[in-house]
Amino acid sequence: MREPDTTVRAPHAAALLLFALVWLSCIWFGSFELNPNNATRLFGALALVERGEATIDRYETLTIDKAQFATKTGTHYYMDKAPGMTLMAAPVVWAADHLAGAQSYDEVIDITNLRLANFLRLRLWLAVAFGAAVLTAFATVLLFDFGTGLTGSPAAGLFAALGYALGSVIWGWSTTMFGHASVAALFLIATWAIWRGTSGAKELGRWRYPVMAGLALGWAVAVEFQAALGGIAIGLWALWRSRGAVWPMRWRLYALAVAAAVVAVLPMLAYNQFAFGTPFMTGYRGVVGFSGMNQGLFGLTYPKPEALLGITLGLRRGLFWVAPALAMGAAGVILLLRDRATRDLGVLAVAVIVIVLSLNASYAYWDGGASTGPRHSVPAIPFLALGLAPFWVSLRSRAAKRSAAALLALSMIVNLVIASTDIFAPENMAMPVWTRNFVGLFAHGKFNTLANVYWGWQPWFGFALYLDVALPTLALILWWTRRAERDRQRTGSV
């Protein structure tokens, strides 16, 4: 692979369209509002904005994901998750309530109440549109730029970006209030900022890169506590990347990054103080109904080989079955390791992938319950997707590139089916993607699209409208990228 040239950037027009395409893809297909993981986060936001409290007592019968604590005023229920996704959703929920002139307290709290379901569904969609969807779309554009600068090839950058956002379960999990896709995006944002900010003397002097990296890593911890371990690996890589700078500049960079991370973590600590009376208490300490959480540290013990096999190659939850293009990314990570110019990035990718997969394999509920793919391993996906860029430029023949593009297209089709039907696969299915998503739902036109849920269209029409917009947009992105690729080849830049 060529020496990385950070002056080579992704074509701006294609990047803007890519952002729009990914954002649209994430908001067009919804997820179930009363899934316990979605619901508990949404209930937390409703409690905050409507009653100025953290307790979800009024909603606790609607979710199995909750924490219970005895207080001076009695026993109360709380959200049992890290508060980041709820805090991002709170302003959106507040705006929706005020614009609609309605609150959840106007509704009967009953799982069979269709008015309540519609109320929650709208707020879930808005929370996704201004939360996970924005983060995923932004991270995708940065990966486009990352892969382009790393290889000098806009085509390679786009190959990696599409594999990440639309060729993996990042897509499906970005339609939810789960934190997995958001943490993946924040990891990628921080990694890009560090890489870009340490690529030359001029970039080292710019404050925006350490601030961006610090904010992203700090907020990742607010979204999922275990993100701290992957964040440590990224932070150590930042120290390595900046080792050549003079000490005054290094101290300035470190101070900016740490200050930004602290600012990002403060809302989480403030929420804990507000909810539990101390910034260091978490809802996980009071989890109800999941005895496995009593094992080790909140359910984390040590990596089990059978769990590791299940989350990578297992038919029920295997990552490479729901995103076959990532197998090429794994090969690309090896290429990063073999090249001296990119070895440090390869080491980081391996480190984060190992940390994330090991945490998943150590968890008592490693399969993620109702999940398509290994949802707890989603933060590893950006680092596998990054390997797609060097993998693409390593292919010398047109036939090889066509085969790689075909595998990426297959991954995108699989994840289109997953995102458009249901990301929450039942626990008892041996091959849920085929049995449920393809045969049970897609073949019968059971979609959850913006058009059929809110505009009253037939589901197939809503699905067709998405394709009518997405396919021409993708074609235009490919055309602009191909033109940029040819321009660079003609000028001898690649």
User: Model confidence over 185-244: pLDDT tens digits?
Assistant: 999 999 999 999 998 766 766 889 999 999 999 999 999 999 999 999 999 999 999 988
Instruction: Tell me: pLDDT of 7 over 70.
Output: no
CA-based nearest residue to 241, from 487, 6, 480, 476:
6
* Helix/strand/coil for 168: coil
What is the rounded CA–CA span in Å between residue 463 and residue 482?
A: 28
The count of residues in the chain is 494
pLDDT at 37: 94
pLDDT tens column, 122-171:
999 999 999 999 999 999 999 999 999 999 999 999 999 999 999 999 99
Structure tokens at 226: 């275990």
pLDDT tens column, 390-409:
999 999 999 999 999 999 99
pLDDT at 264: 98
pLDDT tens column, 281-291:
888 888 888 87
Instruction: Mean pLDDT check: name the lowest of 41-45, 104-108, 160-164.
Output: 104-108
Whole-model pTM?
Answer: 0.95
- Give the DSSP per-residue string, 407-468: HHHHHHHHHHHHHHH-S---TT-SSHIIIIIIIIIGGGT---BHHHHHS---HHHHHHHHHH
Q: Which residues have a Cβ under 8 Å from the Cβ of 57 and sit 6 or more positions away? A: 76, 77
- Give the DSSP per-residue string, 115-154: HHHHHHHHHHHHHHHTTHHHHHHHHHHHHHHHHHHHHS-H
